[in-house]
Structure 1
Amino acid sequence: MTPTLVGLAVIPFSIYLFLFRPDWLVPALVASVPFSATAVLNIESISFGLQSYHVLGALLLIRWTFWPSLTEAPSRPGGDISTVWLALFAIAVLTSLYVPILQGRLSLYHLTQTAYLLFGLSTSFVVSRVAANRRILIDGISWFLWSNLFVSCWAIFQFICFNTAIPYPDWLFNNSVSESATFFDQVIEEYAMPRVSSVAVEPSFLARQLLSALAVALGLMQTNIGERRLPLRSLAAVYIAVLVLCTSSTAYFGLSLLFLYVVVRLPRTALAAIPVGAIIGSLALLIIPNLAGAIYVMTIGKSSGGSFMERFSSVMDGMIGFAEAPWIGNGWGAVNSWDLGFKLLSNVGVFGALAFFAFTASLLAPGAMAALGRHRPIPALNGISEALSLAVMIALAVDAVAGFSFATGNIWLLFGLLWAACALLTASRDAELIQ
């Protein structure tokens, strides 16, 4: 068990927040989520790197559980239907473990995967309670966007290092002993093109993170969130540049979905972005001549390669697993299907999948209503709800084709923040009705 250099700074800081500034725990937790390849404590015996997300999430859970009055936001969303669906999903996950127990094949892998999932669910719930405060929610969104700006800048630095003689300091942010964190130096061999992953475990996870940040930035462009004057267009431009640079099919799929959103919701921005994007793209191809070929290999070229067949085979395994145990599943972690639908169906069955999608719908519905029913000038809470709803939808759409990213914190923090925003939105509408 070895603390890292980052851990020597993060762990004392986290304890300070726990004891003296609990209102900063949610913003710090949100800011820590992109660093999935960064360990604060490496446990070599089990090849596990404890992340800042785990430390801050655990401290937030403890603080809220034992001292709720010190952490709870004034506008507490209690007794809502989302809590019921979340609880039912957690029950379905635990119930599914009876299948491997009865069959005598319960393994440590089942337990660790279940622990990752339940930790994420618990984190979403507590974040929704603590962040149901306008100041904490806005701070959380701001820290989220600035953290991803740092991640983007580090990705550019990583790209420069890989293409020059500058040694890349992987010991700083790519220091986890987890096996999944060893893919930060991938190269597309056909074009000798390095793939950047920044502080994430691999390029596709960097793409998931930046797509969420880009969705939030785009969703907020129509609103004003108070005293926080964020340079949203500049942030969005940097996120897009790094998403293109990371040569991940996940990134390009998400960008295509977000472009459709911009065309519908921000038509003027879309018109202005087309010539600017063409100029930047042309310059990028001149500076990085192998970029076009690398993008082709990682998108269309995948359809004829082993990566596509491996993904397709995993989805077929999910279908078979669902047919074997359709109602309660085979136990969480039993089937590794690289999609969202059959991942849920094969592992927790119909009941678990329905509970998860009902939980998701219960959060997205208020955000959709806010987007469709808002009036100008746009209320801040409506804009925040729309931005977070968009981020959740993009994250789920990516997970639907690239695999459920339940072991990392991005989707769970987005759920928690959206849940808190919906609670504040409901509370403000109720107050208007009373008046």
Structure 2
Amino acid sequence: MRLRGVPLEREPYFFLSYARRDDRKDAFVGRFYEDLVAELDRLGADCGGQMPFRDVERIGLGADWERTLGRAVGNCRAMVALCSPAYVSSLYCGKEWAAFQARLVRYREHTDIDVPALIPVLWTPTRGALPPEITRYQYYEPAMGEEYVERGLMSLLRASPTGGAYRTVLELVARRVHYAADLFRLPRAEGLDLRTVPSPFQGIEPAEPAERTTGHVRVFIAAGVTGRLPRGRQCREYYGPSPLDWTPYHPPVHPTVAHRAQRVIIEEGCTTSLEVVDQSLGSKLDEAMRDNQTSVLLVDAWAAREGPYRNPLSDYDGQNHPVTGVLVPCHDTDGESGDEKLWTDLQQVFRRNWMRRNDPYDPLFQVRVGKDQFEERLARMVVVAQNRLMENAVPRRLPAGPPAPPLPGLTVPAPPPPRTGDQAEPPGPLPPQKDQDDDH
């Protein structure tokens, strides 16, 4: 138990251990860290007095990062590990795990108490089993839900950061951290040198990431062109000879918004195609739904107010397309797009959907999306649309064919061939750098 009167300086409330490779831009790890700190604050934890440790926040330019990491792992009260295939293959994630685990072993040897201060979180799922060094610690309980086991916490966060599935797991992790950090005080490992700590994951064949269902996303562009600027628009530099050349952000440089969208969609594990909005938009969206495909409309607010886009977009607004997202980019420094009349006119085009604009619980209609928000909002839109599609997808049947041959090695005899007229049944050198060589 915690000793009264013992100074608590340099004891991070928790240490967040994760693989950088899982989230290069730190969008989801950063959000989880902030949400966890906020939830701990709500539970009454003293995170302000003993700041949690996350390397991007606590390792300054020019600092000895190995020494800083060693000091944090050797003195923190709890460790939250975002487990994934990348985590298992990361040398320094393994070192952090081993160093903290050694502190738990020392505490147990002196007190005969197992402190639940090493808290694994299933960040991304794997196709195979996690190493026994991880699974010996409880990383799942029924209250976390099957979605967590099947998709991992990062996917739940990406799909809906305010949704019940993500918040349930977040709250349970926060309670575990709060319990361990407030009730126990582990022995410190002063002067810990992570370079001398072997990773328990070395030599283990890392589990592969679970296969993601590859879907197809049809992207439809509604944007102006230089040869015919939208009514009221003066700035030509945002447009090109084709709607696919539209660059809505300032300064208007390539890649185009269509290219940026395709890159985001491909990173989400989907294939994609580009089309320009025309009068057949409604039938194309229906076709995509029948083919188990999702769709995204990238809309230029200026061009949407008039033909040839206004009518098909307005028709879309009056129909039900549950797996189609709409994203309207806008840049704050584009003086022309600051005119509120522009957005009032756009509201008239999307009368029905306007009520759910930028709804955190329903992210499929996003307006005035800034340059820095584009990738994150589009990625979330794609994930939510794909999840909805999988819930309502129409199963496909293979065409009937000849009977499958018997499997080799089975002792059960194959059925006799069908008699004439019978119908066949269908077939069923240098030290590794933490953020470079190791990709931690």
Bigger proportion of residues as helix = 1
TM value normalised by structure 2: 0.23
**Structure number, greater radius of gyration:** 2
Higher RCO (CA-CA < 8 Å; seq separation 6+): 1
